């Protein structure tokens, strides 16, 4: 475990090239939080952050980038899309665009209730590891017929038989209710935590035991807590001293409990 206090653009320089198997992180969402007035955010920051993440990620490694957009004067900023497209420009694959769906309190005017955030899955080449989370199928052990169409509209018939004992791979929209967020005392001291389950499921999906997991915006330490619980190595970077102390204590206590 390696916990670093400081600007991630500076501290990531200490991480060797191609040494990180998985990053699970959530950068600032535009200017929605001030983070003890420590926030300095914009293209001048997130572009070099993505460049550094590409450098430190192993071939076949993955970056999970959990992000949302502010709405300013009735229009969403679209920053999340610009970040995803820039990640592609510098060499990442946009392996998947996933959705973190949750139940948020009413907050919108003349629009449908916001209830999700993006989870972009960037990969450095084809992901080496994918430990699929399986869920029950509605109709286990049933043979289904179906098929795709060619460009000319011709349909190719195929027969599908469930070979996973009534299971199927979980979809890429993950519903995690707000009530499932960690209730420990440290997580409540940070203004923008995500659920333990979100970090946990990405960690077990895209890495194996003994792999190195990074969070360059460590915050309350959720990624670090779940990385250690799942027997991964962890590197965490946090700029704000107060949040670094909160996250560090949370990670160390969870590791002690294990």
- Write out the two tokens for 11: 């501290």
> In this model, does residue 59 exceed pLDDT 70?
yes
Report the CATH number of the 2-133+170-257 domain: 3.40.50.150
Q: Give the span between the Cα atoms of 2 and 78, in whole angstroms.
A: 33
In the chain, ranges of CATH 3.40.50.150 domains: 2-133+170-257
Kindly report the number of other CB atoms within 10 A of residue 86's CB atom: 15
Write down the pLDDT at residue 138: 77
Express each pLDDT in 80-135 by its tens digit.
Answer: 999 999 999 999 999 999 999 988 777 767 788 888 999 999 999 999 999 999 99
Across the range 208-235, mean pLDDT stands at 96
Most confident of 23-37, 66-80, 159-173: 66-80
Express each pLDDT in 182-203 by its tens digit.
Answer: 556 655 555 557 889 999 999 9
Residue closest to 120 by CA, chosen among 71, 170, 82: 82
Across the range 10-32, mean pLDDT stands at 91
More reliable by pLDDT, 141 or 251: 251
- CA 64 from chain centre, in angstroms, equals 3
The pTM (predicted TM-score) of the whole model is: 0.86
Write down the pLDDT at residue 51: 98
- 3-state secondary structure string across 77-139: CCHHHHHHHHHHHCCCEEEEEEEEECCCCCCCCCCCCCCEEEEEEEECCCCCCCCCCEEECCC
Q: Can you give the C-alpha Rg of the chain in angstroms? A: 20
CB 116 within 8 A of CB 102: yes
Kindly report the average pLDDT of the chain as a whole number: 86
More reliable by pLDDT, 72 or 47: 47
pLDDT-wise least confident of 51-60, 101-110, 176-185, 227-236? 176-185
């Amino acid at each position: 475990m390696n916990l670093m206090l400081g600007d991630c653009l500076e501290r990531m320089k200490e991480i060797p090239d191609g040494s990180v198997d998985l990053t699970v992180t959530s950068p600032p969402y535009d200017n929605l939080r001030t983070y003890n007035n420590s926030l300095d955010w914009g293209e001048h920051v997130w572009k070099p952050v993505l460049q550094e993440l590409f450098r430190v990620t192993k071939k076949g490694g993955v970056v999970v980038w959990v992000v949302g957009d502010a709405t300013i004067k009735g229009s969403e900023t679209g920053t999340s899309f610009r970040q995803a497209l820039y990640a592609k420009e510098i060499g990442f694959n946009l392996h998947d665009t996933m959705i973190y769906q949750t139940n948020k309190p009413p907050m919108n005017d003349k629009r449908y209730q916001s209830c999700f955030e993006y989870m972009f899955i960037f990969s450095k080449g084809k992901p080496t590891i994918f430990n699929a989370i399986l869920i029950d199928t509605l109709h286990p052990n049933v043979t289904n017929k179906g098929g795709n169409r060619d460009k000319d509209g011709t349909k190719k018939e195929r027969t599908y038989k469930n070979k996973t004992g009534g299971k199927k791979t979980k979809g890429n929209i993950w519903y995690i209710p707000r009530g499932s967020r960690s209730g420990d005392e440290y997580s409540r001291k940070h203004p923008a935590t995500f659920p333990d389950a979100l970090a946990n499921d990405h960690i077990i999906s895209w890495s194996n035991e003994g792999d190195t997991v990074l969070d360059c915006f460590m915050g309350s330490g959720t990624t670090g807590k779940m990385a250690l619980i799942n027997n991964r190595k962890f590197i965490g970077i946090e700029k704000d001293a107060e949040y670094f102390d909160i996250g560090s204590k949370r990670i160390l206590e969870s590791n002690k409990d294990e």
